[in-house]
Amino acid sequence: MKKRPPGTARQREGADATPLLEGISQPGDLLRLSRDDLRRLAAEIRGFLVRAVCRGGGHLGPNLGVVELTMAVHRVFRSPHDRIIFDTGHQSYVHKILTGRRDWFGSLRQYGGMSGYPSRAESDHDLVENSHASSALAWSEGLARGFALDGDDRAVVAVVGDGALTGGMAWEALNNLARSPADLVVVLNDNGRSYAPTVGGLAAHLAALRTTDGGRPNVFTNLGLAYLGPVDGHDLEAVERALHHARALRRTVVVHCVTGKGQGFGPAETDEADHLHTVGVVDPETGRPAQPPDPTWTDVFADEMLAAGELDPDLVAVSAAMVGPTGLGAFARRFPHRVVDVGIAEQQATTSAAGLAAAGKHPVVAIYATFLNRAFDQVLMDVALHESPVTFVLDRAGITGPDGPSHHGVWDLAVLGTVPGLRIAAPRDQATLREELRDAIADRRGPNALRFPKARVGSPVPALHRLSGVDILRAPAGAKVLIVSVGVLATAALEAATLLSAAGIECTVLDPRWVRPVNPVLGQLAAGHSLVVTIEDGVRDGGVGSAVARLLTDLAVPTPVRVLGLPTAFLPHGGRQELLAEYGLDAAGVAEAVQAALAGARQSRRLSHLPHTPQVPQAVNHA
Ligand SMILES: Cc1ncc(C[n+]2csc(CCOP(=O)(O)OP(=O)(O)O)c2C)c(N)n1
Ligand SMILES: CC(=O)[C@@H](O)[C@H](O)COP(=O)(O)O
Ligand SMILES: [Mg+2]
């Protein structure tokens, strides 16, 4: 059932259907088609996916690989009565097409448009929308157990990739499924890849199963589950037969489907890096962007990491199935024995990094900020408690953009700020990223984290001088407002200061560089101003700004603090700049907030009572 159509009418125009596709507005429509028509429909869906995804970006390879598999699931089961849970959900585009959302693809992943993941707001056919991998089996087990407790005969189908199956959560669920009253159909979509080829003992086991008849004992049967396969996941009839068989068994069954990531689109099939796992706007003929993309923060990290690897033979990089996307590709090619891909296993990455550090190595865990949430306990207990010199490099920190609520890396500053002994740096430009990475790796006292966004790296943001570790970026005479900007938001802070100067309000702008714990020199600097405004690309609650405010309270500095950041909420998908502006974290928003704070403070007559002292206390100005 369709819910609200996302996107503007203009965005929705972008979707162009073809003859058979025109006739599919709900899964039941698939049942009326002949075998020949079903084959033609699969080809039409592939053409549609290539056009729609190349036009605006999204997950291409994973969806091209599940066309027949998704059609088969929808022909055999009755969604939404039967429940279909997609692990991660990045491969749910075909499901969206078949459940009445074809016309929305013109707005895919755009602000106000259709999500790139399952979405309860969009359709009753969607239930789980978390898009952090490896959780579908646990969700499905709980759901099926709940149905069983009610005597409800509804089927639950979990579609899980071979990559997602490397995560600890998947193994915990398999262990539980062996004794659960739930009877799940687990569709194992085995394309042999996460982004890169899936690694580890399980991957090797699945590879062996692909070439046998599957009847002999395997990891699933040994755990007490039934196993069917391997099945050619592009043979619609074969997949349907296997699914009917699985449902009839009335127990938990793994249906092992072998598919090709990027199937049917040459540039995806031949792309060695990741079979076009995710693309931006690309040419639908070549799968490549029209122009080489501008350098990103990831590129700078990649370059500095390579340089650091040359200098430090103990440097080891750890990745949770994302060597390429986190910028470790060049390092891996140069030092193949000093890169560990642990699979989609952030907890393993973190604790094994603690082990590497205990063995005298200098581990760097490169990970997306949102995925480190999975390993909070390991950061706290295995790394921090042991004062383990592990460096975490958090890519995609802050607002990431089109991946939406599950992928915005907005919790790291608040959550990691509670970890004793962990220092967090937020570089503002290329030079500070390089410098802070070197400092982090060299620090043998305990853990460090660096965070930067999914964005172009931008122009250098030079400091006027450094003061007790804090970079002063702007220091006009007579400034009453102190803007403390976190990381990449320095540019918006400086632009805001220029706007405010034109309105007669002078601001000092500083970049603390290492943002947690808060540098106590901020207390002295704040004392020299009438208002402190902090800006961060993370949740306001418990973030850097609130830590600065607490520092001032502790030091009995009376300067009021206005904390600008993100609400404690699940933020929608959209363009990064678009969302930053929406939440007042662009230059105009910051300038407006400063003016409002000054006006409010004047109204409450607080500012007029505060003495004005120079913005940089001489006692600590040793730059
Ligand atoms: C906890 C977590 N870590 C990392 C990711 C990033 N990620 C998204 S898809 C993917 C690969 C998934 O491989 P697989 O499950 O086999 O699906 P495929 O894309 O091959 O269809 C990864 C690592 C994630 N979504 N969740
Ligand atoms: C599904 C998932 O988690 C990733 O594929 C993510 O969509 C990638 O995002 P980037 O494009 O920022 O690497
Ligand atoms: Mg896979």
pLDDT tens string 257-288: 999 999 999 999 999 999 999 999 999 999 99
The verdict on the CB of residue 118 being under 6 Å from ligand 2 is: no
Closest ligand to the CA of 370: 1
Q: For residue 134, which atom of ligand 1 is closest to its CA?
A: 1
Residue 182 pLDDT grade (very low, low, confident, very high; cuts 50, 70, 90) = confident
Q: Quote the pLDDT of residue 292.
A: 83
Other Cβ atoms less than 10 A from the Cβ of 151: the count is 6
How far, in Å, CA of 56 to CA of 72, rounded?
Answer: 28
Question: What residue spans of 189-235 are helical by DSSP H?
Answer: 201-210, 219-222
Mean pLDDT of 54-73: 98
310 annotated ligand-binding residue: no
The amino acid occupying position 387 is: E
SS (H, E, C) 520-552: CHHHHHHHCCCEEEEEEEEECCCCHHHHHHHHH
Nearest residue (by CA) to ligand 2, atom 7, is 403
- 346 annotated active-site: yes
What pLDDT digit, counting tens, does each position of 399-455 carry?
Answer: 999 999 999 999 999 999 999 999 999 999 999 999 999 999 999 999 999 999 999
| Span 560-588, pLDDT tens digits | 999 999 999 999 999 999 999 999 999 99
Say how far apart CA 478 and CA 294 lie, in whole Å: 39
Residue keyed to tokens 């007559």: 605
The mean pLDDT of the chain is 93
Residues linked to residue 398 through DSSP beta bridges, in sequence order = 409
Q: Do the Cβ atoms of 196 and 336 come closer than 8 Å? A: no
18: pLDDT strictly greater than 80: no
Quick: pLDDT tens for 350-405: 999 999 999 999 999 999 999 999 999 999 999 999 999 999 999 999 999 999 99
Per-residue pLDDT, 614: 31
Asked if residue 485 belongs to a known ligand binding site, the reply is: no
285 as an active site residue: the answer is no
374 lines ligand 2 (CB under 6 A): no
DSSP 220: H
Cα 401 to ligand 3 centroid, rounded to whole Å: 24
Can you give the pLDDT at residue 334? 98
Give the pLDDT mean for 531-550.
Answer: 98
- What is the assigned CATH class of domain 62-95+107-261? alpha beta
User: Between β-strands 481-485 and 531-539, what pairing exists: parallel, antiparallel or unpaired?
Assistant: parallel
Q: Is the pLDDT of residue 213 over 80?
A: no
> What tokens appear for 480 in the block?
């009453």
**515 dihedral zone (left: phi>0; alpha: psi -120 to 50; beta):** alpha
- C-alpha 173 to ligand 3 mean position (Å): 19
CATH number of 465-620: 3.40.50.920
User: What is the average per-residue pLDDT within 152-181?
Assistant: 96
Do 62-95+107-261 and 297-451 fold alike per CATH? yes
In tens, the pLDDT along 297-309 reads 999 999 999 999 9
Tell the residue number behind the tokens 């390579």, with chain if given. 306
Q: Where are the domains of the chain?
A: 62-95+107-261, 297-451, 465-620
Map residue 59 onto helix, strand or coil. Answer: coil
> What is the architecture of the domain spanning 297-451?
3-Layer(aba) Sandwich (3.40)
Among 59, 85, 189, 194, name the best residue to mutate to test ligand 1's pocket (greatest count of ligand atoms within 8 A of Cβ): 194
Could you read off the pLDDT of 444-500 as tens digits, one per residue?
999 999 999 999 999 999 999 999 999 999 999 999 999 999 999 999 999 999 999
Q: How far is CA 91 from CA 70, 146, 503, in A?
A: 9, 26, 50
- Is 154 one of the catalytic residues? no
Q: Are strands 226-232 and 184-190 parallel, antiparallel or unpaired?
A: unpaired
Catalytic residue among 75, 101, 145, 374: 374
At residue 615 the predicted structure's pLDDT band, cuts being 50, 70 and 90, is very low
The string of DSSP letters for 450-471 reads EE--SSB--S----SEEETTEE
Predicted confidence at residue 215, as pLDDT, reads: 60
Q: What pLDDT is attached to residue 112?
A: 96
Assess whether pLDDT exceeds 50 at residue 621.
Answer: no
Among 75, 261, 338, 474, which one carries the catalytic annotation? 261
pLDDT at 610: 39
pLDDT at position 7 over 80: no
Q: Is the pLDDT of residue 612 over 60?
A: no
